[in-house]
Amino acid sequence: MSEGTKYGLLIDYEYCTGCFTCQVACAQEYRRPNEIVGMQVIEIIQMLPNGKSYLTFIPFPTELCTLCASRTRSGLEPACVKHCMAKCIKHGPIEALAKEMNEKGRMVLWAPQ
């Protein structure tokens, strides 16, 4: 990986079940005090035509997210990625992750500040 490579998280919200594992994995890793979260899972119920709905969750990394710099330096996955029950969060170079978005829909790509 070259100097200056930007990293991010690719979130496949088609498979996020809203289990909140990422949020608590992050809280444990950083011993976060109550109400301060590094990852926040959001429920979105999309009303569709004909009385149908699509139930979605999106794990949203907050301002506190550093992509687990200390973990990734030691070759570990970020805490949320490691524990994600649906294996729907992927960590990697943004360019590579963006290419993956060509292959599959219902994804969002997130980069830290």
**What is the rounded distance in angstroms from the CA atom of residue 25 to the CA atom of residue 23?**
6
Contacts (CB under 8 A) with another protein, residues 28-47: 28-29, 32, 34-35, 41, 45, 47
3 touches another protein by CB under 8 A: no
25 touches another protein by CB under 8 A: yes
For 111, phi then psi, to 5°, come to -125, 145
Closest CB to another protein among residues 82, 98: 82
Which of 42, 87, 96, 108 binds another protein (CB under 8 A)? It is 87
Question: If we measure between CA atoms, which residue out of 60, 63, 41 comes closest to residue 112?
Answer: 63
24 touches another protein by CB under 8 A: yes
DSSP 8-class letter at 76? P
The region of 3-11, 24-32, 61-69, 95-103 touching another protein under the rule CB under 8 A is: 24-32
CB of 4 to another protein, least distance (A): 28
Residue 23: count of CB within 10 angstroms of its CB: 19
DSSP per-residue string spanning 25-58: HHHHHHTPPTT--SEEEEEEEEE-GGG-EEEEEE
The residues that touch another protein, with contacts defined as CB under 8 A, are: 14-15, 17-21, 23-25, 27-29, 32, 34-35, 41, 45, 47, 53-56, 82-87
